[in-house]
Amino acid sequence: MDTPVSDTSRITPAWSSLIDLMRGCTLGGSRILKEELRQKITIPQYLRLAMRDSIQSKDVAAGNHHYASAGEAAQPPDLALVVFINSLSGGRHGPKLKARLQELMGEEQVFDLRFVKPHEFVQYGLGCLEMLADIGDSCAKETREKLRVVVAGGDGTVGWVLGSLGELHKQGREPVPPIAIIPLGTGNDLSRSFGWGGSFPFNWKSAVKRTLDRASTGLICCLDSWNVLISMPAGKVVDPPHALKPVEEISLDQELKIEGELPEKVSCYEGVFYNYFSIGMDAQIAYGFHHLRNEKPYLAQGPFANKLIYSGYGCKQGWFFTPCISAPSLRGLKNILRMYVKKVNCSEWEQVSLPSSVRSIVALNLNNYASGRNPWGNLKPEYLEKRGFVGAHVNDGLLEVFGLKQGWHASFVLSDLISAKHIAQASAIRFELRGGEWEEAYLQMDGEPWKQPMNKDYSTFVEIKRVPFQSVMVNGGVFSTPLSNQAS
């Protein structure tokens, strides 16, 4: 039986794609003068050079000499911007976009992620500004306080930058610069959720000016971030995503007791996601796509080509056509997975039964998934009350957990014809995976998949909890969904 949804009108994926295209063609809006924009967002040259030298030398003091020659007379910009570009995202728009951005601001404010990693910028670039502020440079102090970051890339790239900036919270180095987005990826669900559109705009030269202007003046809003902890029998995850790092040890929630014997040695990983975490067939298809794109990048030249490749992998892996055989790779996740959650307004762990037909489990933070779809649905108040759910928001401290059965079911869900299989709404989740006949599972977070080794004798644990601080975003202000905690 289909899950009831509210009677509010919904935009179908086909119309959504058409609207995205129209938005891209008109995003330029009112005329923005290039020189006025440049003057408003360009950081004084001595600070740009100081940050550049500090990052290149990996020494916050390397750019100190620039202040002696120009610092005292400099004036801070109205609102300072820096841009990160992932030239490998989406349709390979990075190189030409980089050149355009360098026309609109100081060249040293545009960072290519192939050469400057976000954590290097945080440690040495921002560290340089903070050092200059500490020795009395008022321009550096005000520039640091006003700074905002624009990310040109897909959801994975945005998450990478958000994670690096999140370290500022832990180190007490506030304020944390908020993030605006130029969508270059395939799904761009973070971009859609905060009003920056779902695709790289058709008239991109004019649109980039408009984006930078909105990035410098848009309202600030908050986004929940989710910490992923993985404890597995001693081994190694091959090619983990940027957001997943090996660590010495982790501490799983002691309130939930572990049944069965534990291995003598374990390997641990930790990461953060902002959009979604999933286990199962969708992650396996994404894994195949990512490896193809890395091996044969000429095949993935844009969102349309990417989606065709995704569909091809879905058929190849049996996502659409499941033979009636007992191959372990075609079984539901219930065979290898136990799931525990902390539900709404409840501090105790509870095991949740998984439907036997489900082949993908998704824990969703945003109201956009798979290129702007809403698989959770717009649920009626009476259904929410019956299931013990509440309305879903990006900053409510909850994840919406749903299941997808097979490719046809997923297609109907993502066409907004039906809602996904609602499983839980949770403030914390623990997955327990046990291999049996399965030697590996496929996991992904924010579109970055990996192959997770499993053991038939010992369990692998994946625990998800909310990060105690929220990430900071710039609301694009146009075409965005309402956000409850915007602040000027």
Give domain status of residue 8, yes or no. Answer: no
What pLDDT is recorded for position 25?
42
Give domain status of residue 430, yes or no. Answer: yes
What pLDDT is recorded for position 303?
52
Give domain status of residue 5, yes or no. Answer: no
> Within this chain, do residues 238 and 340 fall inside the same structural domain, yes or no?
yes
Which of 189, 224, 259 corresponds to the end of one domain?
224
- 57 CB neighbour count, 10 Å cutoff: 13
Give domain status of residue 354, yes or no. Answer: yes
> Within this chain, do residues 291 and 436 fall inside the same structural domain, yes or no?
yes
> Within this chain, do residues 458 and 373 fall inside the same structural domain, yes or no?
yes
pLDDT one-digit tens code per residue, 199-237: 887 788 888 999 999 999 999 999 999 999 999 999 999
Per-residue pLDDT of the chain (488 residues; tens, 9 = 90+): 344 333 333 334 444 444 444 444 444 446 788 899 999 999 999 999 999 999 999 999 998 888 766 656 688 889 999 999 987 665 567 788 888 999 999 999 999 999 999 999 999 999 999 999 999 899 999 999 999 999 998 888 898 899 999 999 999 999 999 999 999 887 889 999 999 998 887 788 888 999 999 999 999 999 999 999 999 999 999 888 888 999 999 999 999 998 888 899 999 999 999 999 999 988 888 888 666 666 555 455 555 445 544 455 444 555 555 544 444 444 578 888 999 999 988 889 999 999 888 889 999 999 888 888 888 988 899 999 999 999 999 999 999 999 988 776 777 777 777 778 899 999 999 999 987 777 889 999 888 899 999 988 899 999 999 999 999 999 997 433 334 343 33
Cβ–Cβ under 8 Å, residues 149 and 81 = yes
Could you give the CA distance from residue 433 to residue 440 in angstroms, rounded to a whole number?
Answer: 10
Q: Number of structural domains, the chain?
A: 2
What pLDDT is recorded for position 119?
95
In the numeric block, which tokens belong to residue 83?
């841009």
Could you give the CA distance from residue 110 to residue 51 in angstroms, rounded to a whole number?
Answer: 12
Beta bridge partners of 432: 338, 461
What pLDDT is recorded for position 8?
31
> Within this chain, do residues 319 and 283 fall inside the same structural domain, yes or no?
yes
Query: Residue holding tokens 């007992």?
Result: 326
Which of 170, 202, 224 corresponds to the end of one domain?
224
> Within this chain, do residues 232 and 194 fall inside the same structural domain, yes or no?
no
Give domain status of residue 474, yes or no. Answer: no
Largest CA distance in the chain: 76
Give domain status of residue 389, yes or no. Answer: yes
What pLDDT is recorded for position 287?
85
Cβ–Cβ under 8 Å, residues 434 and 263 = no
- CATH number of residue 437's parent domain: 2.60.200.40
Query: The whole model's pTM is what?
Result: 0.80
Give domain status of residue 479, yes or no. Answer: no
Which of 194, 224, 254 corresponds to the end of one domain?
224
> Within this chain, do residues 268 and 397 fall inside the same structural domain, yes or no?
yes
- 94 CB neighbour count, 10 Å cutoff: 20
> Within this chain, do residues 251 and 203 fall inside the same structural domain, yes or no?
no
| Residue of 71, 13, 82, 81 whose CA lies nearest to 47 | 71
CA 75 → CA 49, 131, 334, distances in Å?
15, 18, 61
Could you give the CA distance from residue 471 to residue 163 in angstroms, rounded to a whole number?
Answer: 9
Cβ–Cβ under 8 Å, residues 392 and 19 = no
Amino acid letter at 46?
Y
- The secondary element (H helix, E strand) that includes residue 283 is helix 281-295
> Within this chain, do residues 424 and 297 fall inside the same structural domain, yes or no?
yes
Give domain status of residue 483, yes or no. Answer: no
| Residue of 289, 284, 373 whose CA lies nearest to 331 | 284
Query: Residue holding tokens 């990310």?
Result: 151
> Within this chain, do residues 47 and 102 fall inside the same structural domain, yes or no?
yes
> Within this chain, do residues 254 and 214 fall inside the same structural domain, yes or no?
no
> Within this chain, do residues 210 and 252 fall inside the same structural domain, yes or no?
no
- 31 CB neighbour count, 10 Å cutoff: 8
> Within this chain, do residues 230 and 193 fall inside the same structural domain, yes or no?
no
Domain region containing 178: 13-224
pLDDT one-digit tens code per residue, 103-135: 999 999 999 999 999 999 999 999 999 999 999
* Residue ranges in 88-137 assigned as alpha helix (H): 94-104, 118-120, 126-134
What phi and psi, each to the nearest 5 degrees, are found at residue 365? -100, -35
- Look at phi and psi of residue 202 and say left if phi exceeds 0, alpha if psi is from -120 to 50, else beta: alpha
Beta bridge partners of 76: none
